[in-house]
Chain A
Amino acid sequence: MNAVLTAAVPRTVLLAGGPVDFEEVAQAFDAWCAKRAGSACEVAVSGFWMRCCMAPAEAGHLSPADLRDYARRQFEHYFGEAPTQGVEDGWHVAASSDPRLPLACGMSSAQVARLLEAARRHRVRIRRLAPWWVRGAARLLPANGTLIASEPGLKLGFHVEADRLQHISMGLSEATGPAGDDLQLWPGADPMPLACEVPTVVALIRGRVPQRSTRVDRSSS
């Protein structure tokens, strides 16, 4: 029944980050899958687990394959996660094909495999695995200016000029607060469930945001 209900519109689940071990997040996701066995879902991932980088301007225009290779080397250099036995490579990487936004994001292959295994156990089909901010950013990214995607403990900034992404910034922070045109999941630094399907958060993840800045109030999952 869950498969039929979610065939057209899959569920959206957010995997939160913070000062926790990824295994706790994976177990929370496992529990979520158990409640919705057979469903189709899209998984939005915190910036704590989903890394992000962009190619420098001096690299020129890179193809998506070249950008993936570049990002993979960057992630391995800064975050470790060398290829392990039985895994094709240490990182699952996806890269933008838009030359104005040479962005790449990636997640540890071991972590991806953990999530897929939990989903498979409960016959849950993961249709999408992406950063939580990507759809909202696609709608709100200005031609000139800065877009901040903030979550408790982490802020990611996208700096755009002449309709081209110039650089991205990432900062760890204890507190969050409104700062101009920013996407904000939680006001303040309230904790959140590790795997949640909060309706307003889901709307933000799906990109249903007004053209102006959005502040989303936390609601119970």
Chain B
Amino acid sequence: MSWADDLDLLGSRRATWPGSWVLLAAAALSVLAMNHRHDELLSEQRAVQQRLENVRRLQAARQAPQRPQASPATLQAAAAMAGRLSHPWPAILARVEAAAEGTALVALHHRAGEATVEIEAAAADDRAAWRFLQALGTGPRPIDKVWLVAREPMSSLDGGEGVHLRIQAHLADSAPQDGAP
């Protein structure tokens, strides 16, 4: 500001134009109105974003890979498996062990879905083998049938003779499977 501006008698007493207060008030109201509108737009934006998210989730759910439908055979097999698992395995094993007096049990095999158990045993001779078969087949359930699948002579490590047996035992309360005698 030059000295020419200093020599203004109204330099420090300049009256404010009343209209300037009106403009100031109008500007303040505009700011308030814009703030309010801004808040409204933010709320609308959040609502739209939420709806968009919901639509995306719905689309993702619809496009999720379908679980394979179980065929009737599969359902039947599953039901059969459930039935096999309900066998009284402790009783079956106790029966086999009780019958194997004088005979050594080598292995016990069972396939899921089958109603038979395959038993491998080693007997001292044919007489012991016959006693094992009778004990298995004449006892109470859960084994109701037994049959000899294979008989093979065998030699023990100490030089003695013996018989290797493969026996199939049918489990009671089970439907006979295809191929069983």
Contact = CB atoms under 8 A, between A and B. Distances in A.
The finding on whether chains A and B are genuine partners in a shared complex, rather than unrelated, reads yes
A3 B19 contact: yes
B21 interface: no
Contacts of A212: none
B contact residues, range: 10 to 19
Contact of A98 (B6, B13, B14): B6
A94 B4 contact: no
Contacts of B71: none
Interface string B13-42: 111010100000000000000000000000
A98 B3 CA distance: 6
A82 interface: no
B10 A96 contact: no
Nearest to A120: B15
Nearest to A95: B6
Given A125-B15, A125-B17, A127-B14, A98 B9 contact: no
A207 interface: yes
Contacts of B17: 40, 125
A105 B4 CA distance: 11
A40 B18 CA distance: 13
B9 A137 contact: no
Interface in A91-120: 92-98, 101, 103-107, 112
Interface residues of A, number: 29
A96 B3 contact: yes
Contacts of A97: 1, 3, 6
Interface stretch (A72-80, A128-136, A179-187, A192-200): A128-136
Contact of A128 (B1, B3, B10): B10
A58 B1 CA distance: 26
Most buried by A among B4, B7, B14: B7
Most buried by A among B2, B6, B8, B11: B6
Contact of A94 (B2, B8, B15, B19): B8
Most buried by B among A105, A112, A134: A134
A125 B19 CA distance: 11
B10 A105 contact: no
Nearest to B4: A138
A207 B2 CA distance: 13
Interface string B58-83: 00000000000000000000000000
Given A125-B15, A125-B17, A98 B2 contact: yes
Contact of B9 (A96, A112, A207): A112
A177 interface: no
Given A3-B19, A125-B17, A101 B3 contact: yes
A131 B17 CA distance: 23
Contacts of B2: 98, 138
Nearest to A207: B4
A64 interface: yes
A201 B36 CA distance: 53
Nearest to B17: A125
Contacts of B7: 94-96, 103-105, 130-131, 134
A126 interface: yes
A93 B9 CA distance: 6
Interface of A: 3, 40, 64, 92-98, 101, 103-107, 112, 125-131, 134-135, 137-138, 207
11 contacts: A40-B17, A97-B6, A103-B3, A103-B7, A112-B9, A126-B10, A126-B15, A130-B4, A130-B8, A137-B4, A138-B2
